Amino acid sequence: MATETASGSDDPAASGRGQGGAAEGAEPAAAAAADSAAAQEPGGPAEDSGSGGMMRSSAVMAAGTMVSRVTGFVKALVIAAALGTRLLGDAYQTAQTIPFIINDLLIGGLIASVLVPLLVKRRMREADGGVKTEDRLFTGALIVLFAVTALAILAAGPIVGLYLGDSSPRQVEVSVYLARFLLAQIFFVGLSGLISAMLNSRNRFGAPVWAPVLNNLVIIGVGLMFLWVAGAGRTVDSVTQGELVLLGAGTSSGMALQAAVLLVAVWRAGFRWRPRLDLRGSGLGEALRSAGWMFVYTLMTQLGLLITANVVNRAGAESVKGGYDVGAGLTAYNFAYTLFQLPYAIIAVSLITVLLPRMSAHAEQQHWSEVRAGFSRTMRMSALVLVPLGLALAIYSVPVATLVFARGNTSAGDAANIGAVLTAMALGLVPFTVFQLMLRVFYAMSDTRTPALISIANVTVHGVLACIAFLVLPPNLVVVGVAAGFMLSFVSGLTIAGFVLSRRLGGLDGRRIGATLLRLHAAAIPSVVVGIGVLWLFTTWLGGGAATNIGAPVVGCLAGALLFFLCARPLVPELSDAVALVRARLRR
């Protein structure tokens, strides 16, 4: 959850998402790669075209990211309608998650953190402009990707078993069958990541951002075709082999198309591959050594996802056996995370993308006061929107999830359970964002070791709380408990990270940030009361139908937003500053 990465996936496995959840760093990684390439390659397109060229590149990336997010969200809606959130949906989600996990463990972190700088340096230093280095890396990557993909397909049964736990035999059978098709994506995901790095090193940013849109569109088409062929009501017991082939082969074809489009883009950028097996001097050893701590971090994130998938899949199977009429497995968790990621991606990621290059420059010059000020300013500005938005999302999560997902094979009860999971996640939106911002401070200081060590603590907290949820809660609520534990793990992570950063930077402006967060939550209390009241009135008068699912969030958010603004204006100085900035921009 994940998203987007070179894979363009919105699944929580992609891109080393969080710590068992999602794709939190895709846009900053892309921006950092762009910044690195533009800054280090003299005479590149960005330099030639000046600020206008950079603005155009940023606009292309922003538009592509937005379209990719939208189509990824539509993809989630279609898959929910086609497969539901019960055992069939969980079987597909599990099989679809595994390729991205394996890719992340082997080369995902390497591509994101090392290959772009390596290729840029080699293009600058080597007489041939890094041509031989690229040929060696490309050759080595193809060999490794092919071997790993083949081995994963052969070992599909044991691999799937790690994530499904004690699920029903038929669910395991369906998931393994799908995995034999979906694991082919390992090759195409890795290839897409490598080509994206090569394009970024050439200051070509459009294709890596837009290509995932094609993948999303293909999977949307596959989901609609499945609905047309199979109709509503398919389960793991009634789904046919032909329908599974459609799902598996169709999904993998989307990733193959994405890789093909990127191949065309890198060919047009001037890359002409000549196979080279003399890997000595390729730079791969240097890259592997540099990515060591990033690999530890990725390993921890995927361990967290393994815990999540295993626990919620077991609970989902137990829920079916116990007669609970809701989907309570990995699918419910993933779809809730898809909704949870939207405010973070739209608000915080935009600010992070601007912050990271500036913070890196200040860290390079050891201007720690500027690093501290940049973190504080970004955190407080993000909180202006994320605090009320997170609370609103928690209040209206069930009607929103019902409105979005309750169609096709996903019942109103299934959608309501997605909403319950979303409530637990929404309450952790601010700690999640604080932790992600702290990670960016470490990365700006060229420190990947500390985030890797902190991730061990995160995964430990998450794992312990997930196991407690499984042992204590009813099967249908375990997924909610796991989501709550996942969010609480970020509280522990930001506590440790804040202590370390405060010692390194001579403080972290913690009192000011804490005071702002406290005032924002105090200002939001009247809005929360009004929001809950509006939901109660709509539910009492109109029941739980479409009028409530649409009307309550709209009326409650409009009234709550106005009330929050009136209460926060005298309490929170940052809000006045933001209003003044907007007014100044509008007057230009």
- Report DSSP letters for 35-101, one per residue: HHHHHHSTT-HHHHHHHHHHHHHHHHHHHHHHHHHHHHHHHHHHHHHHH-SSHHHHHHHHHHHHHHH
Q: Give the CA distances from residue 151 to residues 109, 156, 271, 517, in Å, rounded to whole numbers and listed in that order.
A: 21, 9, 29, 49
Phi, psi for 340 (deg, rounded to 5): -60, -35
The closest alpha carbon to 34, from 60, 8, 15, 9, belongs to: 60
> Could you report the per-residue pLDDT of 44-56, keeping only the tens digit for each?
443 444 444 545 5
For 267, the token pair is 């060919």
Dump pLDDT digits (tens) for 542-555: 887 888 999 999 99
Query: Taking a C-beta distance cutoff of 8 angstroms, is the pair 421, 332 a contact?
Result: yes
Name the DSSP letter for residue 282.
S
What does the alpha-carbon distance between residue 407 and residue 193 come to, in Å, rounded to a whole number?
34
CA 506, 508, 510, 516 torsion-angle sign: positive
CA 555 to chain centre: 30
pLDDT of residue 447: 84
The chain-wide mean pLDDT, for the chain, equals 82
Contact (CB, 8 A) for 489 and 468: no
CB 519 within 8 A of CB 571: yes
Mean pLDDT of 395-416: 92
Provide mean pLDDT across the span 6-19. 37
**CB-based burial label for 311 (10 Å; 0-12, 13-18, 19+):** buried
Q: How far apart are CA 56 and CA 576, in angstroms?
A: 31
- The enclosing H or E element of 207 equals helix 206-230
For 477, the token pair is 């609520």
Q: List pLDDT tens digits, range 267-283.
A: 998 888 888 777 665 55
Mean pLDDT of all residues in 573-587:
70
- Work out the pLDDT band at 307, boundaries 50, 70, 90: very high
Residue boundaries of the structural domains of the chain: 14-471, 518-588
Of the candidate ranges 68-77, 212-221, 288-297, 568-577, the one whose mean pLDDT is the lowest? 288-297
Q: Are 464 and 293 in contact (CB under 8 A)?
A: no
**Taking residues 8-15, what's their average pLDDT?**
38
Q: Which residues contact 400 (CB under 8 A, 6 or more apart)?
A: 339, 393, 419, 422, 549, 553
| CA 474 distance to own-chain centroid | 28
Which of 482, 378, 490 lies closest to 18, judged by CA?
490
Contacts of 396 (CB under 8 A, 6+ apart): 531, 535, 552, 553, 556, 557
- Residue 136's pLDDT is 79
- Cα 5 from Cα 99, distance rounded (Å): 14
- Count CA within 13 A, CB hemisphere, residue 427: 17
Residue 375 has pLDDT above 70, yes or no: yes
Report d(CA 405, CA 341) in Å as an integer: 16
- Of 9, 37, 44, residue with least CA distance to 23: 9
Instruction: Count the neighbouring beta carbons within 10 Å of the beta carbon of residue 472.
Output: 10
Rounded Cα distance, 227 and 224, in Å? 5
Under the banding of pLDDT at 50, 70 and 90, the label for residue 57 is: low
pLDDT band with cut points at 50, 70 and 90 for residue 559: very high
Tokens of 427: 């309450």
Helices (H), 84-168: 87-103, 109-110, 116-125, 131-154, 156-164
Which among 110, 195, 96, 106 has a CA at the least distance from the CA of 148?
A: 106
pTM comes to 0.79
Q: What is the pLDDT of residue 80?
A: 93
